[in-house]
Amino acid sequence: KLANETAKADLGRASWKLFHTIMSRFPDQPSPDERTALKSYIHLFVRLYPCGECAEHFRVIVEKFPPQTSSRSAAATWACHVHNEVNLSLGKAVFDCSKIGDFYDCGCAEDGVEGKAVG
């Protein structure tokens, strides 16, 4: 169990940042393998999240709202929605998911490693 609320909040901010940035880089037209990878990542994120009570709350949310992996925008919108469910349970303001577009910037160019179009 984490020692204090500050550590828990710091871990949360760092985790959400990575979580949403991964969604923001997910392919627009993912292959079946890429969709499986994202589903696995989400499943393991839920299972291994270091704050046990948080992980348990989030597991219930993800069970209710199953991960969406059909496209980048579906994944990003889903992640925004489940984060909002956490926000609501903690009494925080809800984020406008229509503004998720360029909010999470990895600071990396859209890579051409797999010959993908810029998108």
| Contact residues for ligand FAD, defined by CB under 6 A | 8-9, 12-13, 15-16, 20, 49, 53-54, 57-58, 80, 83-84, 86-87, 90, 92, 95, 100
Beta carbons of 100 and 83 less than 8 angstroms apart = no
C-alpha–C-alpha distance, residues 31 and 49, integer Å: 27
Which region holds residue 40: left if phi is over 0, alpha if psi is between -120 and 50, else beta? alpha
Choice between 73 and 84, CB closer to ligand FAD: 84
Choice between 53 and 110, CB closer to ligand FAD: 53
Choice between 71 and 103, CB closer to ligand FAD: 103
Beta carbons of 80 and 13 less than 8 angstroms apart = no
Q: Closest separation between CB of residue 38 and ligand FAD, Å? A: 16
